[in-house]
Amino acid sequence: MCTNTRATCFKLLLSPHSGWIRFNNKCFMFKGKKGEIKANWSYARSWCKDQGGDLAVIDNQYENDLELPTWIGMSDLLVENQYAWSDGVSPVLYTNWNDKEPNNAGGAEHCVALAHNHLVSGKWNDDACHKDHSFVCSRKKCQ
Ligand SMILES: [Ca+2]
Ligand SMILES: [Ca+2]
């Protein structure tokens, strides 16, 4: 349970020994820190499912503050330009697209990552699903 300030909670979430961290009534687990696996979107999703979750559903700005390029559970793999959460049930309550995104660049971008560069942090980008990124899982219960 993370009952500290938002900044402290995210520091905890990104810390080397973290498993599931409760935040905003959900549990999150971040993967892809130095020395850890990075993965393409499909592999990341199956990894999260093996842990009893799915790629993260982001419902609000508070949950959007992970600071690394990171897969989340949104894609338009089923229907082009219709973005949905990979758990198949969560409604899309919040989006935070970067300028001019999603742009489906090359007709081949169907998976969503939190982008990070010198200009933007935490803005969303549709990206090619085969790329290896960090990823964040979420699930309803921590135990
Ligand atoms: Ca697309
Ligand atoms: Ca894009």
Over range 78-91, report the average pLDDT: 95
How far, in Å, is the centroid of ligand 2 from the Cα of 124? 8
* Digit-coded pLDDT (tens) for 50-72: 999 999 998 887 676 654 578 99
- Please report, for the domain that includes residue 36, its CATH number: 3.10.100.10
List the domain range (segments joined by +) for residue 78.
30-139
H/E stretch holding 114 reads strand 111-116
Q: How many domains does the chain have?
A: 1
Instruction: Give the pLDDT confidence score for residue 138 in this predicted structure.
Output: 92
The mean predicted confidence, pLDDT, of the chain is 84
Rounded CA separation 75/82 (Å) = 8
Q: Does residue 56 sit within a domain? A: yes
Peptide bond into 69 cis (omega under 30): no
Q: Does residue 2 sit within a domain? A: no
H/E stretch holding 136 reads strand 134-139
Tokens of 17: 């020994």
How far, in Å, is the centroid of ligand 1 from the Cα of 74? 11
How far, in Å, is the centroid of ligand 2 from the Cα of 19? 30
Instruction: Give the pLDDT confidence score for residue 9 in this predicted structure.
Output: 64
- pTM attached to this predicted model: 0.80
